[in-house]
Chains A and B, each alone.
Chain A
């Protein structure tokens, strides 16, 4: 169990770059998705388990995915063929349309409040 946690931490560290602004080209290739359905899929497909219900990420289990997710093409590639500890999600399990909805959900997540407005984090 401890090894699993450590391994996930490695994956999290390795995936720290997963949340980067999408280049213009990739943005153009982003399919339209339904954010509301994506929210449901993010929960039912278990994405939240490692990345949190708001995709805020965890240093222990999985990196932050939102807001401003990585380019859809890169995300899709990683979901199908992960190189770290993340389990693979084939199109049989999560269809391309579902993935587009999940991506729309990630894009819809609000920015966090400005740090200077959070008294507890000053």
Chain B
């Protein structure tokens, strides 16, 4: 039934954006009136004629929808990419991005799942140092995205999410658009986002979009969410709104530094200490952070324990004593924690037994110094905050931003005598480090020829193929017993991106693809040691990698299980004294074994495997590297030992 309404076109265009709803309501009022029983018999539709009155105009197009202005705003925020699984609640801005915006800066990245979009953004940031935008439905899309947003929140990574929604109930299309609309979209993720807003106008959007970026990028960095109304995206920009449009200037807040008094006190404690230890988790936000940490460690000749939240410290450095971390902490008189996720867990031992127990492992009188932006912002519902750490000096500040002044303070406080003492300490530490490296190589030889392939062999074979390339490991290392950290030489910030943050499985593959997307323009060889359980969460991301020609070498750690959970089940079965032979029920991924190579091939990715003979592994990785160097993703499935 027609909703054509006689209007004055000029008046309509003038007031369309502001009063469009009212106009359409009026229109629908007329339509409703027309729905009353016809007084005359129904007739067939009459074709329009040239002689139809010119005053009857149905405005069907606009040259300037609100989405275009949103793209103008987004472009000022310097996004290279925007990832999304398409959704009608953001169809307006989607169209503006690809046509008005020319699909450049940002370029639209097609994802098959919102969890992939967000995790890609998380991995991307940790290489590029700036966010990648994400578009989701305010309802079902955000629900899919939620776990990945939580990971990014726990990982202190700024993910920039735009969520479509249709706020005006009278403007919603019947059916699905109602299902995909929500009063308060952000409510679902508000506990694990830093800030959100629901702009009511385009000027409001501009301000909130810029504000969201600034908040996300201020340490502690976290995800933000801006809900974008469908009407704002699609309706024409009226002249009066146009007159109010401006894009605010973005000035990022400087990261907060520790206060001078606390920095001087920390320096005094560190210089006076006989056995200081530096522990770093998410300390090096940028390459500069890694450089500063090396300088501090070398100035003090103090050992560093890299907990791996970021690429903090070169693995072959004589002061990298991560492998001997617990013993060093137990012997330390001063422990400096830099952006630690869990300071309590760093200095305490916890026993997961029938009766859970814990004990401090530090020496009596050991001084604990904490520098973390985590003390500046904390939420209560989700418990990623860990146990309360009892420290002696706490700086609510960004560690990387504080390191330069701490280094200078340490230098000022160091006498010639202390410097000599530091050198002696450093010499002993260097000897111990060399022994640890030798021990790692010797340990790797055990089960060298085993099938399934040992994780040490997998890591060594992979290293042989990439060591002469400009490589970047874009996956975690915990599930392969940290062998890359023990056998490879990591000395650049982009060579490692840390972990998921919240241990939400399904992060690995999309984060690797996102990091590889960031590495692409630098020509780096991105390497993903890909767990099988993680692969299965949202495997469509491999299609995204193929479709967008994202070079990524994935070598599977396929132990055919959610192995962490196998161990948990075994622990329960042992504790309950019921036999442990059934711990595989519900925790393994076999019978049938998944053919990951076929899955990847089906999505356009070069793939080989499963490879179970260690002698076949090196050549397969070499072939895959050649594919990746041509600019495409490749996957080698490897049947591996559990850890």
> A residues near B, CB below 8 A?
1-10, 13, 44-46, 48-50, 52-54, 56-61, 64, 84-85, 87-90, 92-93, 112-113, 115, 118, 120-121
In the A-B complex, the 6 residue pairs with the smallest Cβ-Cβ separation, listed nearest first, are: A87-B574, A112-B445, A56-B447, A56-B446, A54-B447, A58-B643
Interface pair A10/B349, CB less than 8 Å apart:
yes
Is there a chain A Cβ closer than 8 Å to B566's Cβ? Answer: yes
Nearest CB on B from A66, distance (A)? 8
Q: Name the residue on A nearest B568 (C-beta).
A: A4
Interface pair A121/B580, CB less than 8 Å apart:
no
Are A118 and B448 CB-contacts (below 8 A) given A50-B643, A60-B481? Answer: yes
Taking CB atoms, residues of chain B closer than 8 Å to A56 are 446-447, 450, 454, 456, 641
Taking CB atoms, residues of chain A closer than 8 Å to B345 are 3, 6
Is there a chain A Cβ closer than 8 Å to B178's Cβ? Answer: no
- In the complex the two chains form, what is the Cα distance from A7 to B326 in whole Å? 11
Name 5 interchain pairs, CB-CB below 8 A, sorted by A.
A4-B564, A10-B326, A112-B447, A120-B463, A121-B445
Is there a chain A Cβ closer than 8 Å to B464's Cβ? Answer: yes
Interface pair A113/B449, CB less than 8 Å apart:
yes
Are A61 and B575 CB-contacts (below 8 A) given A46-B570, A87-B570, A113-B448? Answer: no
Are A85 and B352 CB-contacts (below 8 A) given A46-B580, A92-B577, A112-B446? Answer: yes
When the two chains form the complex, which single residue of A3, A45, A53, A121 contacts B447, counting CB atoms closer than 8 Å? A53
- In the complex the two chains form, what is the Cα distance from A32 to B578 in whole Å? 26
Interface pair A118/B503, CB less than 8 Å apart:
no
Taking CB atoms, residues of chain B closer than 8 Å to A2 are 342, 503
Are A120 and B481 CB-contacts (below 8 A) given A1-B564, A112-B448, A113-B445? Answer: no
- In the complex the two chains form, what is the Cα distance from A54 to B566 in whole Å? 18
When the two chains form the complex, which single residue of B323, B350, B441, B463 contacts A59, counting CB atoms closer than 8 Å? B323
- In the complex the two chains form, what is the Cα distance from A88 to B563 in whole Å? 19
Taking CB atoms, residues of chain B closer than 8 Å to A46 are 566, 570, 580-581, 583
Q: How large is the interface on B (under 10, 10 to 19, 20 to 34, 35 or more residues)?
A: 35 or more
- In the complex the two chains form, what is the Cα distance from A113 to B641 in whole Å? 18
When the two chains form the complex, which single residue of A1, A49, A85, A92 contacts B566, counting CB atoms closer than 8 Å? A49
Taking CB atoms, residues of chain B closer than 8 Å to A112 are 445-448
Interface pair A60/B482, CB less than 8 Å apart:
yes
Interface residues of B in 19-49 (CB under 8 A from A): none
- In the complex the two chains form, what is the Cα distance from A67 to B444 in whole Å? 14
Interface pair A54/B441, CB less than 8 Å apart:
no
**Mask for B335-378, Cβ within 8 A of A = 1, else 0?**
00000001001000111110000000000000000000000000
Taking CB atoms, residues of chain A closer than 8 Å to B478 are 5, 60
Interface pair A13/B570, CB less than 8 Å apart:
no
Is there a chain A Cβ closer than 8 Å to B567's Cβ? Answer: yes
Taking CB atoms, residues of chain B closer than 8 Å to A113 are 445, 448-449
> Number of residue pairs across A and B with beta carbons under 8 Å?
131
Interface pair A49/B642, CB less than 8 Å apart:
yes
Taking CB atoms, residues of chain A closer than 8 Å to B352 are 3-4, 7, 85
Is there a chain A Cβ closer than 8 Å to B452's Cβ? Answer: yes
- In the complex the two chains form, what is the Cα distance from A89 to B454 in whole Å? 26
Nearest CB on B from A98, distance (A)? 11
- In the complex the two chains form, what is the Cα distance from A49 to B569 in whole Å? 11
Interface pair A57/B446, CB less than 8 Å apart:
yes
- In the complex the two chains form, what is the Cα distance from A65 to B20 in whole Å? 75
Taking CB atoms, residues of chain A closer than 8 Å to B463 are 120
Nearest CB on A from B39, distance (A)? 72
When the two chains form the complex, which single residue of B353, B567, B579 contacts A50, counting CB atoms closer than 8 Å? B567
Interface pair B461/A120, CB less than 8 Å apart:
yes
Most chain-B Cβ atoms within 10 A of its Cβ — which of A1, A45, A64, A92?
A: A1
Is there a chain A Cβ closer than 8 Å to B327's Cβ? Answer: yes
Nearest CB on A from B639, distance (A)? 11
When the two chains form the complex, which single residue of B350, B353, B452 contacts A53, counting CB atoms closer than 8 Å? B452
Nearest CB on B from A71, distance (A)? 20
Nearest CB on A from B586, distance (A)? 14
- In the complex the two chains form, what is the Cα distance from A6 to B566 in whole Å? 17
- In the complex the two chains form, what is the Cα distance from A90 to B580 in whole Å? 11
Known contacts A3-B352, A93-B574, then 7 further A-B pairs from the complex at CB < 8 Å, ordered by chain A residue: A44-B581, A54-B447, A61-B643, A87-B571, A87-B573, A88-B577, A92-B577
Is there a chain A Cβ closer than 8 Å to B253's Cβ? Answer: no
When the two chains form the complex, which single residue of B350, B449, B460 contacts A120, counting CB atoms closer than 8 Å? B460
Taking CB atoms, residues of chain A closer than 8 Å to B641 are 52-54, 56
Interface residues of B in 282-313 (CB under 8 A from A): none
Interface pair A93/B577, CB less than 8 Å apart:
yes
When the two chains form the complex, which single residue of A3, A8, A45, A87 contacts B575, counting CB atoms closer than 8 Å? A87
- In the complex the two chains form, what is the Cα distance from A58 to B557 in whole Å? 15
